[in-house]
Each structure stands twice: as C-alpha cells, then as structure tokens.
Structure 1
C-alpha cells in the first residue's frame, strides 16, 4: 500500500480514503499476480506490462476504469449494480457499497482477454 500512499493522502475525506484503500488492498489480495502502479497520478494494476484496471477519486465517487472493452462487456451488470457509466469508466458513489463480484469479473476478463496483448492499452 506504500506505493499508493501519495495518491491516498490527497483524498481529503477520511472515509473516502479508507474506502479507496480497502478496494486497492482487495485487488492486491485477490489478484496477487497483477502489478500495482501509479501512472498519470492514478492507481492502476497491470499484467505483463499491459493495463488491467485503474481507479480514481472525486468528491462524489470512486471511478473504476477497465478500458472500453471491459465497460462494453459488463455494461448491463454495471447498470444493475446501480452505477453510472461512460464508455471508459463506472462511478461508484461513496455512499454505495462496492460490488466486489462485478469488480472481480472485470479484472478476470481483462487478464484473460489481454493475455496475448503486447501493448499497454488495447
């Protein structure tokens, strides 16, 4: 978690900071083979040098970015979870629970789908 320390320190609300730390820790525990990184001032996880998933924080929500292919694949489930979405990310309001099952599916999808990928982005 030390790698994400500077990013986390910039989240003013202690409850939001704790939630983000919880999610990042969960990813590292659930997927020990993905590599944590901070790029473009955002925490993210890579696998064999390719992007898997990234996170960011705003005043009202946490954003989760599984790339456009991940968003397309899980669009219906994202809506069912009650999260807003764009082509590139979903927004989890700070006052809503994190759907870890959906997050797990997104990460697993990207790991498998990008297994042969030799670039950072699709």
Structure 2
C-alpha cells in the first residue's frame, strides 16, 4: 500500500482503458504513481532500501522482544517484580525525545511486545 492508504499498483480502470484520470491520459508506472521513467526508477531504488530496512526492523523487533521476555522471566524467577516502571519510563522518554509523540507510541508497542499487555 502507498502511504495514502491506497493500494500500490497501476492507476488504471478495470475495463483496460486509460488511467482513472480519463481517456487518453498517460499510464502511470505500476506501483510508483508517476509517468516519468527517471522518477519511477528512483522510486524503485529507494523502495529496495526501504524493504531492507523493514526486514532489519522486523528482525530487531523480534530480538528485542525475546530479550525483554528473558529479562522478565529472570527477574520474576529471582523473586523480582513483573515490571520495573522506572525502566519503562526511561524507555518511553528516550523514544519521546528522539521521535516525539510517535516515538512514545512506538515505545509502548515495543514494551508490550516484550512483556505482554498490562
């Protein structure tokens, strides 16, 4: 999907005619949203890197969640608490400082992935 929420892909009508913009209009490059070949090629290059970053983020997310679960298991097995709120606040503040309000939301998701819902 594109950032707009619309599915990625060619912007053509289902009857095989021209683009949804009207008859005779140039067809867009599938998935790029542009008719300019240079721009379409650059978009494709950028998306390769975005996909690499996404794969790395997913891998790091999974590793972080596993490590966080291990910390919790170890802490509780030694008689500690399920959560250390000061640590969670530290993480929330780190993400807020770096990324603003969206960072807080991201940090909350990361924390939940490691410890489960409250």
Return the TM-score normalized by structure 2. 0.28
Return the TM-score normalized by structure 1. 0.27
- Name the structure with the higher strand share: 1
- Bigger Cα Rg: 2
